[in-house]
Structure 1
Amino acid sequence: MKQLVVHHESEWTQTALLENGRLIEFAAERVCEHGTAGSFYKGRIVNVLPGMQAAFVDIGLKKNAFLYIDDMLPAHLDKQPKSKPSIEQLARRGQQLLVQVTKEPLGGKGARVTTHYSLPGRYIVFMPEADYVAVSKKVEPETERVRLKSLGEHLRRSGEGMILRTVAGGQDDATLGEDLARLRRQWESIRESAEKAEAPRELYRDLDLAERMVRDVFDPGTDELIMDDALQREKVCAYLERMMPGVQPRVSMYREEAPLFDAYPVEHQLHRDFGRKIWLPGGGYLVWDQTEALTVVDVNTGKFTGTGDSLEKTVTQTNLEAAEEIARLLRLRDVGGIVIVDFIDMQEEGNRTRVLQCLEERLAKDRTQSHIVGWTKLGLLEMTRKKVRESGAGLFHEVCGACGGTGRITLR
């Protein structure tokens, strides 16, 4: 069973997703600083850089947004030119265009924007100009994927595209059609606003954090939603009624004196899971080091001495526990960029395959796309994970003024 716990206070909204009492996802958002990912803007191109095949776009934020040439070409590969044109052929200074934020400003970088528009609904991600239908790889069996693909082709209009989400499995054409119609109305409103607006201007803002989490991870048939703010609860319930009319979700109002995150308990797990050293169930541990673009995880046997009669079994057992925990922590910490895992050396190729399969299976539950590159010549596991928003826990930390984030200070 999953529980979505939403804590709201004057400056913050924080959400925690628990599965059988274990924390698997955490997000936070400042009330006064709504996230920009997914939002639409009427922007003005302020600079075109042929050497980078990109343009900078003023969308009204502190830093100009970055628009790469691939995000200006047609979304459908079959409609793209055989040879990539120069950015100067597609963009000019002063040009106004409709863009959508795909990656929020992080660190010193501005937002990443695209002209490949998409609007997520409960069952469908609507892509008004993509001209293709895709089905989530997590939908099973294959016959259901084929049915959804056929249904999507039937529902879409010429030039439109869509992705049928995992929760679309088992839904009928009426339910999916209602979701699509709602997204079409949203898109028409955005497009009409863009025609009238003068850049830079925000045209459409994605849902706030609590509503996004309800849309993306909450199953009203089996999951429980616990909230501690009456106004936020009313807002979320109204959203649920619009998205899934007639459904009676399990929504609880928390009224006890103890803080919500202490009662479930989220706070304790956050302190444990965001440390540099994370213990594994069997006695091994992980050492977790993160930079702006690279995360390194070192696996150690620690106190685990094994239950088998060989070192290979002991090492493999530790690595399997580590693979499962790393997949959970990547999702929980919302890590992005390159990830290098230094598993303990295994001699047998079959054990290396088992560890890799374990990691792949656990990563399949993650909503964010990951790609496992494989083992390097030095025996390290290399992978990448997409980054969209700043980590929720990262909002509560700042770089130490004494050491500058290195963990060391100069003695002389």
Structure 2
Amino acid sequence: MKQLVVHNEAEWTETALLEDGRLIEFAAERVREYGMAGSFYKGRIVNVLPGMQAAFVDIGLKKNAFLYIDDMLPAHLDKQSDTKPSIEQIARKGQQVLVQITKEPLGGKGARVTMHYSLPGRYIVYMPEADYVAVSRKIEPESERVRLKSLGEHLRRSGEGMILRTAAGDGNDDSLGEELKRLRSQWDSIRSFAESTEAPHELFRDLDLAQRMIRDVFNPNADELILDDAEARERAGLYMQRMMPGVQPRVRLHRDPTPLFETYPVERQLHRDFGRKIWLPGGGTLIWDQTEALTVVDVNTGKFTGADGSLETTVTDTNLEAAEEIARLLRLRDVGGIVIVDFIDMQEESNRQRVLVRLEEKLSKDRTQSHIVGWTKLGLLEMTRKKVRESGAGLFYEPCSTCEGTGRIMIR
């Protein structure tokens, strides 16, 4: 069973997702800055850069947003034409455009925006101009995916597109149809607002953190939601009534004087799992180093000496355990960009393949897209993971003034 634990303060909302008591996701958000990724803006192009085939767009934030040419062109241009226009042919300074944030401002970079729009619901990701239907590969069996794809084709209008999410496998056909109508109406409102206002202007803000987690990870038939704020409990209840009519989810208000994150316990796991050195259950260790460009994870046997006297078995067992923990920590820390894992050297190719399969299997549970490139000639594992928002726990760290950023001090 999973538990979604939501802690509210005056300035912050923090959410923790636990599976059998183990922390697998954590997110934090400033109340006044919620929902930037996924939000819609009417912006004004302030600069067109032919050398980068991109434009900078003023959407009313401190830094201008970045709009790449492929995010301006129609999604299926390759099917219509063999040649792609240049950025100067489709964008001009002063042009007003309707854009959606796909990547929040991080560090010194502004937001990344797109003109390929999408609106996520519990069952459907609605794409008003995509003109195709896709179904989550996590839905089984294959016959159910085929049935849902056929249903999506029947429900959509010409030119519309949608992705049927994993939760669609648990929903009935009427629920999917009602959600599509709601998302379609939401898009019509955004477009009408854009037509009647001048740039730069915010048009639509995505849900707050707790509501997004309920929408994306909470299973009302199996999971439990615990909150420590009565108003937040009321908002969550109203949201679920609207999103999941007829369902009676398990929602509880935490009234115990012991803080919520100590009761479950989230606080202790956060301090352990965000350290540089993480102990594996069997005695091995992970050394975790993060730079601006990439994240490096070094796997060591630590205190684990094996049981059968075989070095290859000892090394492989440690690497298999490390693969599971790395997949969990990538999700928990919300690591983005390039990831290099230095597993302990294995002599047999079959064991290397076992480690790769184990990592892929555990990463399949992650909502954020990742891609395993494979083993390098030096025996390192290369992979990438998409980055959308600033890491929740990262908001509670500040660079160390003594080493100028090599270390971090937790201010939480």
Report the TM-score when normalising by structure 2: 0.98
Mapping of residues 100-111 of structure 1, within 5 Å: 100-111=100-111
Given that residues 15 and 27 in structure 2 are in contact (C-alpha distance below 8 angstroms), is that contact kept between their aligned partners in structure 1?
A: yes
Q: What is the deviation of 1:79?
A: 4.2
In structure 1, distance between residues paired with 2:320 and 2:407: 30
In structure 2, distance between residues paired with 1:76 and 1:273: 43
Report the 3-state secondary structure (helix = DSSP H, G, I; strand = E; otherwise coil) of the residue aligned with 1:153: helix
Q: What is the deviation of 1:83?
A: 2.2
Gaps of 5+ in 1: none
Q: What is the deviation of 1:170?
A: 4.3
User: Which amino acid is the alignment partner of residue 253 of structure 1?
Assistant: L
Aligned partner of 1:248 in structure 2 is 248
1:352 aligns with 2:338: no
Mapping of residues 146-185 of structure 1, within 5 Å: 146-185=146-185
Aligned partner of 1:310 in structure 2 is 310
1:11 aligns with 2:11: yes
In structure 2, distance between residues paired with 1:310 and 1:247: 53
Aligned partner of 2:236 in structure 1 is 236
User: Which amino acid is the alignment partner of residue 381 of structure 2?
Assistant: L
Aligned partner of 1:26 in structure 2 is 26
Given that residues 338 and 383 in structure 1 are in contact (C-alpha distance below 8 angstroms), is that contact kept between their aligned partners in structure 2?
A: yes
Given that residues 128 and 187 in structure 2 are in contact (C-alpha distance below 8 angstroms), is that contact kept between their aligned partners in structure 1?
A: yes
In structure 2, distance between residues paired with 1:216 and 1:202: 24
User: Which amino acid is the alignment partner of residue 278 of structure 2?
Assistant: I
Change (3 A) 1:80 1:231: farther
Mapping of residues 127-146 of structure 1, within 5 Å: 127-146=127-146
In structure 2, distance between residues paired with 1:180 and 1:147: 17
Listed one character per residue, the Cα deviations across residues 148-189 of structure 1 (whole Å, up to 9, x for unaligned) are 111100000000000000010143321110010010010000
Report the TM-score when normalising by structure 1: 0.98
Report the 3-state secondary structure (helix = DSSP H, G, I; strand = E; otherwise coil) of the residue aligned with 2:82: coil
In structure 2, distance between residues paired with 1:200 and 1:39: 13
User: Which amino acid is the alignment partner of residue 264 of structure 1?
Assistant: Y
In structure 1, distance between residues paired with 2:82 and 2:272: 51
In structure 2, distance between residues paired with 1:77 and 1:349: 42
In structure 2, distance between residues paired with 1:183 and 1:100: 15
Q: What is the deviation of 1:308?
A: 2.0
In structure 2, distance between residues paired with 1:2 and 1:77: 42
User: Which amino acid is the alignment partner of residue 9 of structure 1?
Assistant: E
More divergent stretch after superposition (165-174 vs 349-358) = 165-174
User: Which amino acid is the alignment partner of residue 396 of structure 2?
Assistant: F
In structure 1, distance between residues paired with 2:2 and 2:242: 22
Aligned partner of 1:289 in structure 2 is 289
User: Which amino acid is the alignment partner of residue 83 of structure 1?
Assistant: T
More divergent stretch after superposition (70-79 vs 25-34) = 70-79
Q: What is the deviation of 1:78?
A: 4.7
Q: What is the deviation of 1:400?
A: 1.4
Q: What is the deviation of 1:34?
A: 1.8
Q: What is the deviation of 1:31?
A: 1.1
In structure 1, distance between residues paired with 2:278 and 2:29: 25
Q: What is the deviation of 1:20?
A: 0.3
In structure 2, distance between residues paired with 1:152 and 1:36: 28
1:267 aligns with 2:267: yes
Q: What is the deviation of 1:80?
A: 5.4
Q: What is the deviation of 1:85?
A: 1.5
Aligned partner of 1:327 in structure 2 is 327
In structure 2, distance between residues paired with 1:336 and 1:221: 31
Q: What is the deviation of 1:66?
A: 0.1
Given that residues 399 and 406 in structure 2 are in contact (C-alpha distance below 8 angstroms), is that contact kept between their aligned partners in structure 1?
A: no
Report the 3-state secondary structure (helix = DSSP H, G, I; strand = E; otherwise coil) of the residue aligned with 2:235: helix
Report the 3-state secondary structure (helix = DSSP H, G, I; strand = E; otherwise coil) of the residue aligned with 2:214: helix
Aligned partner of 2:372 in structure 1 is 372
Aligned partner of 1:48 in structure 2 is 48
Change (3 A) 1:380 1:236: same
Listed one character per residue, the Cα deviations across residues 183-237 of structure 1 (whole Å, up to 9, x for unaligned) are 0010000000000010000000000000000000000000000000000110011
Q: What is the deviation of 1:35?
A: 3.5
In structure 1, distance between residues paired with 2:312 and 2:77: 47
1:257 aligns with 2:257: yes
User: Which amino acid is the alignment partner of residue 96 of structure 2?
Assistant: Q
Aligned partner of 2:381 in structure 1 is 381
User: Which amino acid is the alignment partner of residue 401 of structure 2?
Assistant: G
Change (3 A) 1:336 1:303: same
In structure 1, distance between residues paired with 2:218 and 2:25: 12
Given that residues 76 and 132 in structure 1 are in contact (C-alpha distance below 8 angstroms), is that contact kept between their aligned partners in structure 2?
A: no
In structure 1, distance between residues paired with 2:228 and 2:78: 50
Count of aligned residue pairs for this structure pair: 408
Gaps of 5+ in 2: none
In structure 2, distance between residues paired with 1:240 and 1:274: 32
In structure 1, distance between residues paired with 2:241 and 2:407: 49
- Cα RMSD of the aligned pairs, angstroms, is 1.0
User: Which amino acid is the alignment partner of residue 241 of structure 1?
Assistant: Q
Aligned partner of 2:64 in structure 1 is 64
Q: What is the deviation of 1:77?
A: 5.4
Q: What is the deviation of 1:48?
A: 0.2
Listed one character per residue, the Cα deviations across residues 133-161 of structure 1 (whole Å, up to 9, x for unaligned) are 00111111111111111110000000000
Report the 3-state secondary structure (helix = DSSP H, G, I; strand = E; otherwise coil) of the residue aligned with 2:261: helix
Aligned partner of 2:338 in structure 1 is 338
Given that residues 225 and 251 in structure 2 are in contact (C-alpha distance below 8 angstroms), is that contact kept between their aligned partners in structure 1?
A: yes
